[in-house]
Amino acid sequence: MNLSEFVWAAPEMTLLGLICVVLIADLFIDDDKRIVTFWLAMLSVGITALTVLWTDPGHGIVIFDGSYISDSLSQILKLGCALFVGIGFVYARDYLIANDLHKGEFYLLSLFGLLGMLIMISANSMLTMYLGLETLALSMYALVAIDRNNVVSAEAAMKYFVLGAIASGCLLYGISWIYGVTGSLQFHEIAAAIAADPGLNNLPLWFGLAFLIVGIAFKFGGVPFHMWLPDVYQGARTPVTLYLATAPKLAALALALRILVGGLGGLQDTWGQMVMIVAVLSLLVGNIVALAQTNIKRMLGYSTIAHVGFILLALFVGTEQGNAAALFYTLTYVVAAAGAFGVIILMSRGGFEAHNISDIKGLNERSPWFAAMMMLLMFSMAGIPPLVGFFGKLNVIAALLDANYTGLAILSVVASVIGAFYYLRVIWYMYFEAAEDQAVLQSGTDTRVVLSLNSLAVLALGIMPGWLWTLCVQVFAAS
């Protein structure tokens, strides 16, 4: 090992250092000055993002004896994670203050989670991946339970913890089988071992693979390993839900891409089938069950499952185009999800919690601007052009048709028509129903500006999707 290698891991190390600073500083900050912690956390996220930009790995650099990789995929995903954690902080702040939850722990746990995500994204070995995953998962369990007097939150956290531990166990068990068969934990060595000996492509490896898929599907929230997701989305306080719904999805994509494509790309025929089944089930179950939901966070939870179905469908194709489509879809979905939860947070102010879809009734009377923003987000998720969600779906359909999976392409669009209903229901409640209370939305100017920009981004990205798509294609063409 060479000391100069450390420079490539600068984002993680910087963030870790900054977390320590925030942690100690927060000890000496009074409750009424907690806003300082917010700014320190924002600063940490910003500096981390700048460090990511500063370390340009070119065509990819592997360091720490093959445990850590920095490449264009890690750059784009890390920037995404930092961005959405930062946006989440802005949305969360006023809500936390209003609900007497404004503690340093929220920011610290979120930052630790971000560290876990960065490690996952840059993992080049199973152990690094697992390390990052657990850092993220433990932070998220604690975040879900941050309102400790709230029974629902506590229940959600418990459920998440137990199921998450089982999923991690499955993943670790799968890793041990893969290690046993291929003799390595590093992705490129695993890939080389499989390429060198086709005889390895056999039952023991498939057995391990099945457990890996369970772990990955759990982290994504793919059916039938999705049971935790609606409960946790519903049970967690909304800023935590927003946190769960955005950046960790990018990390989960890295998990899938690094392990399945990077390490086990040679077994695409085998894992492709498993991923396809999970994807199809997610599309159908997510969309159909979401129809019946009355809790808006739960509904968005099932909607997430449906979107995960699209992402997994793109991964299943196994081509560079499919991978690029998965990346594009995840990035753009997360933009819309952040905005949607942002609007829910916005409506939850002043002790009132927006739980039910009916709570957004008549938003057009109360705030035409944010009703229009929410409409954009919902139509983007439903896949109406020219919003960016449409181009996400378009790329997935193109990848599917390119690989001659016409049936799956048709299935996916029909599933999204089913899904359109519950997005339309949100718009129906906002526009066609009278408001039940006329309270003016309270929120800081910065929240309003960020939320507006966030929502308009789905339109802007939809009008100019070319650059992002080119970027996504380049990520996989380079590697």
Partner 1 sequence: MSQHLLSILIWLPIFGGFALLAIGDAGDYKSARAGMMRNVALALSAVTFILSTGLYTGFDNAATGMQFIERMEWIASLGVHYYLGVDGISAPLILLTTFITPLVVIAGWDSIKTRPAQYFAAFLILEGLMIGVFAALDGILFYVFWEFMLVPMFLIIGVWGGANRIYATLKFFLYTFLGSVLMLVAFVYLYRQTGSFDLFGWMDAPLSMTAQKMIFIAFLAAFAVKVPMWPVHTWLPDAHVEAPTGGSVILAAIMLKMGGYGFIRLSLPIVPDGSEYFSGLMIALSLIAVAYIGLVALMQTDMKKLIAYSSIAHMGFVTLGFFLLWSIDGPTGAVLGMQGGMVQMISHGVISGAMFLCVGVLYDRMHSRQIADYGGVANTMPTFAAFMVLFAMANAGLPGTSGFVGEFMVIIASFKANFWFAFVAATTLILGAAYTLWMIKRVIYGEVANDNVARLTDLNRREFLVLAILAVSVLLLGLWPAPLVDMMNVTIEQLIETIGQSKL
State yes or no: residue 368 binds partner 1 (CB under 8 A).
yes
- Among 211-219, 228-236, 336-344, 422-430, which window interacts with partner 1 (CB under 8 A)? 422-430
Between CA 135 and CA 122 the distance in angstroms is 14
Tell the burial category of 305 from Cβ atoms under 10 Å away from its Cβ (0-12, 13-18, 19+): buried
- Picking from 245, 328, 277, 301, the residue whose alpha carbon sits closest to that of residue 76 is 328
State yes or no: residue 98 binds partner 1 (CB under 8 A).
no
- Among 68-76, 85-93, 193-201, 395-403, which window interacts with partner 1 (CB under 8 A)? 395-403
State yes or no: residue 397 binds partner 1 (CB under 8 A).
yes
State in angstroms the smallest separation of the CB of 249 from partner 1: 24
Whether 431 and 323 have beta carbons less than 8 Å apart is answered as no
State yes or no: residue 410 binds partner 1 (CB under 8 A).
yes
State in angstroms the smallest separation of the CB of 408 from partner 1: 10
Considering the complex, state which of residue 15 and residue 427 has its C-beta at the smaller distance from partner 1.
427
State yes or no: residue 398 binds partner 1 (CB under 8 A).
yes
Considering the complex, state which of residue 39 and residue 428 has its C-beta at the smaller distance from partner 1.
428
Name residue, tokens 């060595």: 189
State yes or no: residue 449 binds partner 1 (CB under 8 A).
no
Whether 225 and 309 have beta carbons less than 8 Å apart is answered as no
Considering the complex, state which of residue 270 and residue 452 has its C-beta at the smaller distance from partner 1.
452
User: Which one of 386, 441, 452, 479 is in contact with partner 1 (CB under 8 A)?
Assistant: 386
Q: Where are the alpha helices (DSSP H) in 145-223?
A: 151-182, 187-196, 203-220
State yes or no: residue 427 binds partner 1 (CB under 8 A).
yes
State yes or no: residue 432 binds partner 1 (CB under 8 A).
yes
- Picking from 92, 350, 96, the residue whose alpha carbon sits closest to that of residue 246 is 92
Whether 360 and 294 have beta carbons less than 8 Å apart is answered as no
State in angstroms the smallest separation of the CB of 409 from partner 1: 5
Secondary structure letter of residue 31 according to DSSP:
G
Token pair in block for residue 195? 């390429």
State in angstroms the smallest separation of the CB of 411 from partner 1: 10
- Picking from 368, 183, 443, the residue whose alpha carbon sits closest to that of residue 175 is 183
Size of the site for partner 1 (CB under 8 A): 33
- Among 198-206, 224-232, 401-409, 445-453, which window interacts with partner 1 (CB under 8 A)? 401-409
DSSP letters, 283-315, are: HHHHHHHHHT--BHHHHHHHHHHHHHHHHHHHH
User: How many CB atoms are located within 10 Å of the residue 24 CB?
Assistant: 9
What is the CA angle 422-313-196, rounded to 5? Answer: 160
User: Which one of 431, 435, 441, 452 is in contact with partner 1 (CB under 8 A)?
Assistant: 431
- Among 214-222, 260-268, 304-312, 414-422, which window interacts with partner 1 (CB under 8 A)? 414-422
State in angstroms the smallest separation of the CB of 328 from partner 1: 11
Considering the complex, state which of residue 93 and residue 366 has its C-beta at the smaller distance from partner 1.
366
Buried b / exposed e along 112-132 (16+ C-beta atoms within 10 A): bbbbbbbbbbbbbbbebbbbb
Name residue, tokens 């941050």: 146
User: Which one of 63, 178, 336, 409 is in contact with partner 1 (CB under 8 A)?
Assistant: 409
State yes or no: residue 360 binds partner 1 (CB under 8 A).
no
- Among 59-67, 85-93, 138-146, 382-390, which window interacts with partner 1 (CB under 8 A)? 382-390
Residues that bind partner 1 in the complex, under the rule CB under 8 A: 368, 372, 379, 383-386, 390, 394, 397-398, 401-402, 406, 409-410, 413-414, 416-417, 420-421, 424, 427-428, 431-432, 464-466, 469-470, 473
